[in-house]
Amino acid sequence: MKNLDLKRILCGLFFLGLAGFSCFWTAESLFIWQPSLTRIGAWLIAIAFYVVASLCFSKMLSVFDKHADFYGKFGGRGGQLTIGLLGVIIFWLMVSLPTNTHTLLYRASIRPIITTDINRTMGYLKDLQDNNIEVKKINDKYNAKKEAVDALILRLVAETENPSAPGIGHRFETVLVELDRTLFDGQTGNRKLQRVAKIGTTQRQWLVAVNYYQKQAQEQLVNYRSICDKEIQQVRRMMNSDQLNNLIRNLEIALTDIENMQGINNDIIAAAEKDLENGYAFIKTNAKYIVLKPEDVDRYTRDGVLPEAEEMKSVPDVWKDFLTTNKYDGHGFFWWVLVALLVDLSAFIFFYKA
């Protein structure tokens, strides 16, 4: 009798220990998902559901005891099996197991997931500064003009050395007209470089003339560069560069806080998520100015989008993503399901034995 009592006491203690872990994981998941429940409310729900699940599991196991008496009980042996099975499905398989897995996955993966999200978002924000499509177009336009001007200067030099017609003649003037058109394209009036009055008859004098035209061309390029810089400033003003700089700075701070975070600090995570939401909104507004990777277009441009860390707070969304995407590949999802499964099944068995 004493041995039997000791066995039941030990089983009861083991059950309480394992049930404590399971209820903590369930309560943590419910609170992360629905903070309005409060921690106390989440714990009460977790305990109530776990107790009911344990009772239903015991009822289901007792059906397989051939010595058990079901006389007078609702539905007899079959009815008790149905009640127990439904209870296990509703209170454990649909609530306890998914929420426990969610908590284990969240605590193990939230740091790398939010770090990746911050780095990716910060990269696109920096692209708006450095690799902005409109800014790139302006710079490409300047570079194309400069390359064309440099090529035409070389052609001027080559014309002075043309064996069939050395010096500055009709063909030289044709290249010079093309240089005028390249330098002053888009400007009003019939503008052109000032021509050299006295050309000379020697190679040295011809090169002096070429240098004079080159100097004028460089001055025009400097002016054009100034125009391009003003256009770039206008683009950045349109995007509110001060706001952009603040977003990047805040994300850098958030990244440092996440990397230095001890355990799971929900305040630090919430602050980082807020910075990410602001970054997402800014990228969506200015998406036309950057090149988003194909897999990121929907993430940053669709309505109602949330940072990955925020999406990970939702139990149904986590399971949906696991079942329909490869989002959680490499995060040990099956492992955490197995851990939650073994803890609960062990607890249920100890409860039945107690």
Domain stop point among 175, 209, 238: 238
Q: Are residues 36 and 102 in the same domain?
A: yes
What pLDDT does 70 receive? 58
What pLDDT does 78 receive? 67
How confident is the chain (354 residues) per 10-residue block, as mean pLDDT?
71 93 96 93 96 90 67 63 88 94 93 94 89 84 93 87 71 87 75 79 82 91 92 80 90 95 90 94 89 90 84 92 87 93 94 83
For the record, the structure tokens of 67 come out as 């010595």
Domain stop point among 207, 238, 269: 238
What pLDDT does 300 receive? 92
pLDDT in tens, 213-234: 899 999 999 999 999 999 888 8
pLDDT in tens, 156-177: 888 877 766 666 777 888 888 8
In a domain, 37, yes or no: yes
In a domain, 302, yes or no: no
Q: Are residues 155 and 212 in the same domain?
A: yes
In a domain, 285, yes or no: no
pLDDT in tens, 90-135: 999 999 999 999 999 999 999 999 999 999 999 999 988 877 788 8
What pLDDT does 190 receive? 64
Q: Are residues 154 and 212 in the same domain?
A: yes
Q: Are residues 144 and 74 in the same domain?
A: no
Q: Are residues 214 and 176 in the same domain?
A: yes
Q: Are residues 144 and 101 in the same domain?
A: no
Domain stop point among 238, 257, 279: 238
In a domain, 313, yes or no: no
Q: Are residues 156 and 222 in the same domain?
A: yes
pTM over 0.85: no
Contacts of residue 200, Cβ cutoff 8 Å, sequence gap at least 6 = 206, 208, 209
Q: Are residues 103 and 141 in the same domain?
A: no
What pLDDT does 328 receive? 87
In a domain, 265, yes or no: no
What pLDDT does 69 receive? 62
Q: Are residues 79 and 153 in the same domain?
A: no
Residue range of the domain that includes 90: 2-110+333-353
Q: Are residues 91 and 146 in the same domain?
A: no
What pLDDT does 65 receive? 66
Number of domains in the chain: 2
What pLDDT does 186 receive? 65
